[in-house]
Chain A
């Protein structure tokens, strides 16, 4: 038993090396002085400096943050009500509604992207940050609902009933009993939705218009023009941001 576990541990280490190797290579080479990459020619922060001076990058970042914030808020506000209703209430055709709620997460992003593109074009709706945000809402909303419903399922309805029994109205019972218990899940769901939105490329790619570049789109266009160390530097920053986000969400979970 110990012997086979040693084998498995060895394979696991291999998997981890596989997962982290490429990322670490990028990180290391983001400090490489050579522009033609792949051969180490001394360490430098030059490329990071180039990034800092790139105005289009800052614009793309702020666009991403804007779209992310709006779509996350929409998802949270609308999703909370929907989740509560679906978990605590009954409605005709609930399976159908649940299917519709699951579908945006299941279908390939390409399909969602082109469908939205078709929709906006046929309505003569100019493509831009609004259309991108609308697209982001489509996949964030079901995600938030799913997370909140899972958490609601674990909250015993007996507490709300107890509050009602003690004279609280349904609204009060919700605000004072259920909502505080849901808060961590809302933060978690919000964080997930925000990250998903920041990270999204495919749907954004199809629904964007002139002047509405987001961070992933900017990264993509940089990759299309050619491999440069600036992309390495940008990648390194994005990876670090991910690590920070995980750290934050873990810290929230501890509480």
Chain B
């Protein structure tokens, strides 16, 4: 389902202190209707605090939260059209699956007949029919997660908050649940805000992502925007793998610039403005932008450096080569495992790594 551009959740200048530190610092952003919106960031970045502020489990010091145009400040969690799926699921251990799921409806005084129908419907949506009389302790991790999701969905809230939803699941289960989450959202049509520190997962699931750092938003964008057009070094390093090179911009004309890292051949970069000349900066490349070869073969628009293979790691879907550039920067390059085994590099081999000049991203320090 294509998310409409109507704002469902609006955060305005949200601030929350935690002791002496600012957990959330003047946060402002919007989440659109039916969007899968993720907030990612390292621990301590304030993403969980933000989620709890939206849920009402914390009250902000300053700023405002709007859900469907309604101001949330002063409203308790049980007064907000927001439901949360907690990290540890928080299923009531003394209640059956049925009672867990129907809890929200019970609290709102929904009629019994309606309740039965809605519970049945939501169980079908999360694909968990027929386990209604079990206790949470009798369910597997994946099943518990579905119950937690159903418990939130059944109330048709304006927003569902997910707190590290797939953390406790094993790899295969994670992937299954990821697909299901997207399917459920498409089917039901609900706005989801998800907090996770797994940026790869966020890239997979989200329509848009907000990258948070030290209580502030570094960048908001679609997964592709964040990955290929990061606006800060932090985002470039946090989202996806990054190969870095520290150096100085020597000179630039209209289109081409020269970037020099000590001990490394000068590198060509595109699109650097005049004011960055003489400035120390960090260049970032993605692993898939690099090509390894045994011979030196360099076009005008390419950069080519000599290197040697430190490590070869077999990932299954790719081969990862760890190489060293400029004697202190460790880079990762990819290789195709489908290639003939004999053409693969081995640790210690000399190689040449090259990339197109237009790929390099530059961030002043």
* B71 in contact (CB, < 8 A): no
Q: In A1-32, which residues have CB < 8 Å from any B CB?
A: 1-2
Q: Which residue of chain B has the shortest Cβ distance to A1 in the bound complex?
A: B76
Interface size class of A (residues with CB under 8 A): under 10
Please indicate the chain A residues that have their CB under 8 angstroms from the CB of B59 in the complex.
Answer: 2
Interface size class of B (residues with CB under 8 A): under 10
CA of A2 to CA of B58 in the docked complex: distance in angstroms? 10
Please indicate the chain B residues that have their CB under 8 angstroms from the CB of A1 in the complex.
Answer: 76-77
Please indicate the chain A residues that have their CB under 8 angstroms from the CB of B77 in the complex.
Answer: 1
Please indicate the chain B residues that have their CB under 8 angstroms from the CB of A2 in the complex.
Answer: 59
Instruction: Report the minimum CB–CB distance from B187 to chain A (whole Å).
Output: 33
Q: In B202-256, which residues have CB < 8 Å from any A CB?
A: none
CA of A2 to CA of B56 in the docked complex: distance in angstroms? 12
Instruction: Report the minimum CB–CB distance from B82 to chain A (whole Å).
Output: 15
Q: In B72-108, which residues have CB < 8 Å from any A CB?
A: 76-77
CA of A1 to CA of B59 in the docked complex: distance in angstroms? 11
Instruction: Report the minimum CB–CB distance from B59 to chain A (whole Å).
Output: 8
Q: Which residue of chain B has the shortest Cβ distance to A3 in the bound complex?
A: B76
Q: Which residue of chain A has the shortest Cβ distance to B78 in the bound complex?
A: A1
Proximity string of chain A (64-97) to chain B, C-beta cutoff 8 Å, 1 when within and 0 when not: 0000000000000000000000000000000000
CA of A68 to CA of B76 in the docked complex: distance in angstroms? 56
CA of A2 to CA of B77 in the docked complex: distance in angstroms? 11
Instruction: Report the minimum CB–CB distance from A1 to chain B (whole Å).
Output: 6
Q: Which residue of chain A has the shortest Cβ distance to B56 in the bound complex?
A: A1
CA of A1 to CA of B76 in the docked complex: distance in angstroms? 7
CA of A42 to CA of B76 in the docked complex: distance in angstroms? 54
Instruction: Report the minimum CB–CB distance from B191 to chain A (whole Å).
Output: 24
CA of A122 to CA of B355 in the docked complex: distance in angstroms? 104
Instruction: Report the minimum CB–CB distance from B147 to chain A (whole Å).
Output: 24
3 A–B contacts, CB within 8 A, in A order: A1-B76, A1-B77, A2-B59
Instruction: Report the minimum CB–CB distance from B227 to chain A (whole Å).
Output: 40
Instruction: Report the minimum CB–CB distance from A122 to chain B (whole Å).
Output: 52
Q: In A113-154, which residues have CB < 8 Å from any B CB?
A: none
Instruction: Report the minimum CB–CB distance from A255 to chain B (whole Å).
Output: 31
Q: Which 3 A-B pairs have the closest CB atoms?
A: A1-B76, A1-B77, A2-B59
Q: Which residue of chain A has the shortest Cβ distance to B77 in the bound complex?
A: A1
Instruction: Report the minimum CB–CB distance from B307 to chain A (whole Å).
Output: 50
Q: Which residue of chain A has the shortest Cβ distance to B57 in the bound complex?
A: A1
CA of A206 to CA of B59 in the docked complex: distance in angstroms? 61
CA of A2 to CA of B75 in the docked complex: distance in angstroms? 12
Q: In A163-214, which residues have CB < 8 Å from any B CB?
A: none
CA of A1 to CA of B77 in the docked complex: distance in angstroms? 9
CA of A46 to CA of B77 in the docked complex: distance in angstroms? 60
Instruction: Report the minimum CB–CB distance from B74 to chain A (whole Å).
Output: 12
Q: Which residue of chain A has the shortest Cβ distance to B59 in the bound complex?
A: A2
